[in-house]
Amino acid sequence: MTTNRVAEVAGVSVGSLYQYFGHKDELIAAVAERHGQRMLQLLLDSVTSMAEAPLEVAVRTYVAAMLRAHALEPALHQALVRHVMTNGLEVMDELDALIQASVRGYLELHRERLIVRDLDAAAWVLLVTVRALAHVGALHRPSSMSEAQILDETCAVVLRYLLGHDTGISAS
């Protein structure tokens, strides 16, 4: 990606592009923030009413939302992930903190059912695990697995971690 190519695709001059973005990293950060906000909004729309939902229902809703969020603009998502892995990106850290805090808050409401004790650590483990499975599932799903299988298996992993057993609840 070059600023010349971005300006060309956007139909503006390079000078106009530099009025808004001082350098390429600022442009990437803006694109990442927009993409991250879309992903976050999809997650929030899906899980907002889950505080009172049974753990099994909330986990399935959260995992399904993460799978959908990672499937938004897959080529852009993949390019941003590569950039973040190489260069880091503060806006993604902020989004992770918001997601982790919401997961931790939900876990607190259901603490009595959980076998995990450190809810801060559990929220981080769940964020990273579900994000990784959602990312790979959305972008590099093996042809032998359906999206429903990825959802079921990811939910099983989460529920075994939180409860010590799989509840056997699945949509397939």
CA-CA-CA-CA torsion for 161, 48, 172, 158, nearest 10 degrees? -10
Q: Which residues contact 103 (CB under 8 A, 6 or more apart)?
A: 62, 123, 126, 127
Q: Are 92 and 84 in contact (CB under 8 A)?
A: yes
Q: What is the tally of structural domains in the chain?
A: 1
Q: Tell me the percentage of the chain whose pLDDT exceeds 70.
A: 88
Query: Does position 126 have pLDDT exceeding 90, yes or no?
Result: yes
Quick one: pLDDT at residue 69?
A: 80
Is 114 inside a domain boundary? yes
Q: How far are the Cα atoms of 6, 70, 168 from residue 81, in angstroms, in the given order?
A: 19, 11, 33
Within-domain flag for 84: yes
**Residue 39 belongs to a domain:** yes
| 23 domain-assigned | no
Does residue 52 form part of some domain? yes
Q: Specify the pLDDT at position 91.
A: 64
State the pLDDT confidence band at 73, using cuts at 50, 70 and 90: confident
Confidence at residue 113, expressed as pLDDT on a 0 to 100 scale: 92
Which structural domain, as residue segments, surrounds residue 135?
33-163
Q: Is residue 25 part of a domain?
A: no
Instruction: Decide if 151 is inside a domain.
Output: yes
pLDDT greater than 80 at residue 56: yes
Question: In this structure, is residue 129 part of a structural domain?
Answer: yes
pLDDT band at residue 83 under the 50/70/90 scheme: low
Confidence label for 85 from pLDDT (cuts 50, 70 and 90): low
Kindly list the distances between the CA atom of residue 139 and the CA atoms of 17, 57, 172, in Å, as whole numbers in the listed order.
Answer: 30, 25, 21
For residue 114 the two structure tokens come to: 């959980």
Domain at 143, CATH number: 1.10.357.10
